[in-house]
Amino acid sequence: MSKNILILPGDGIGPEIVTEAVKVLAALRDDHGLEIEMDEALVGGAAIDATGVPLPDVTLQMAKEADAVLLGAVGGPKWESLDISVRPEKGLLGLRSGLGLFANLRPAILYPQLAEASTLKPEIVAGLDILIVRELTGDIYFGQPRGVRTLESGERQGFNTMVYAEHEIERIVRVACDIARKRDRRVCSVDKANVLECTELWREVATRVVKNEYPDIELSHMYVDNAAMQLVRRPKQFDVMVTGNIFGDILSDAAAMLTGSIGMLPSASLNESGRGMYEPIHGSAPDIAGKGIANPLATILSLAMMLRYSLGHAALADRIEAAVNKVLDDGLRTPDILSEGMIEVGTEAMGDAVVAALI
């Protein structure tokens, strides 16, 4: 049966990188028997410009009906002066909560070909393969109350609420443990239990879930500040890290950079039924938008995750990943991953090369 994929290019470099991923998807459809239909819709700043809101009802409806969603990136300086409640980022957050995408998988894998591109010494990052499992629909991102209020003194005060219910912690810990069972069976839960009650509960629940349901998993706990330090000190000590929304946002950027470029890393955001939205972990990079130099590989690799996790086509996912390896072996590099002696290419040439390498 044909699967329906919703394409949301978004803003900045979003349309450019998504175009390359769509080329790959179309090649799989035309030459490798993948039965899919693609639709496109507006989100983020592009949606604000066209309709006045970052997540039009029709986009959310199409996303709910799709088998999977591929998103480019949202946001940019053009919309930064808008009220926070209607900024492009709200489109992304609305999709995450509207689709119930509570489990965000952010793998940080170092392609050996790119060891030179990392800012860390090669021996620190060689062979790096860690997975950050970030809770995506709770925490301070969605907690109420929130806002900016005026105190009696006339001074304004901003406030947000960090909040996690037990079931939210349980289900994300289960996702992390299920995946760890297919890896090295080690899960490090990251919190700030020495200061924040919310994450003290997180630690307690994580401990209980693993003890009762995953006795085969080795669970450790780490404070988030230490985790940030350990990520740059000795990143290979980690297998799977599980953490809340805000800590996961921050740690996943740090983990990404270990691999040389944030332009290489895909992500999957899944709900209870395994449906998902797939996006590169980088942003809309307005500074290089429209120049044809953005790295499309994170988006193309997001497609591989989509095939594996939502569409049941693991073999095609392998094929995309092999093609990406091949173009890296051939020395092709976008500027973000360029090193001496390599061949500099733009967004389109990189996408074409991946298509050509799909066998």
Binding site for ligand IPM (CB under 6 A): 75, 89, 92, 249, 281, 283
Measured distance CA(97)–CA(144) in Å, rounded:
14
Cβ nearer to Mg ion, comparing 242 with 320: 242
Instruction: Give the residue numbers marked as catalytic.
Output: 141, 192, 225, 249, 253
Cβ nearer to ligand IPM, comparing 92 with 297: 92
* CB count in 10 Å sphere of residue 208: 14
Cβ nearer to Mg ion, comparing 74 with 355: 74
Find out whether 73 and 9 touch, Cβ atoms under 8 Å: no
Count of chain residues binding Mg ion (CB under 5 A): 1
Find out whether 164 and 139 touch, Cβ atoms under 8 Å: yes
Cβ nearer to Mg ion, comparing 214 with 278: 278
| DSSP H helices in 181-313 | 197-213, 224-233, 245-258, 297-309
Cβ nearer to ligand IPM, comparing 26 with 140: 140
Cβ nearer to ligand IPM, comparing 34 with 298: 298
Pairing of strands 103-109, 266-270: antiparallel
Q: Does 249 bind Mg ion (CB under 5 A)?
A: yes
Smallest gap from residue 36 Cβ to ligand IPM (A): 25
Find out whether 297 and 326 touch, Cβ atoms under 8 Å: no
Q: Does 279 bind Mg ion (CB under 5 A)?
A: no
The radius of gyration of the chain's CA atoms, rounded to the nearest angstrom, is 20
C-alpha distance from residue 78 to each of 92, 137, 219 (Å): 17, 26, 44
With a CB cutoff of 8 Å and minimum separation 6, the contacts of 208 are none
Smallest gap from residue 288 Cβ to ligand IPM (A): 17
Q: Does 139 bind Mg ion (CB under 5 A)?
A: no
Find out whether 223 and 187 touch, Cβ atoms under 8 Å: no
**Residue 180 main-chain phi, psi, to 5 deg:** -60, -30
Smallest gap from residue 72 Cβ to ligand IPM (A): 12
Select from Mg ion, ligand IPM, none the partner in contact with residue 92, using the beta carbon and a kind-dependent cut-off of 5 to 8 Å.
ligand IPM
Pairing of strands 156-159, 147-150: antiparallel
Measured distance CA(302)–CA(308) in Å, rounded:
10
Which is nearest to 347 in space by CA: 307, 304, 299, 280?
299
**Footprint on this chain of Mg ion (rule: CB under 5 A):** 249
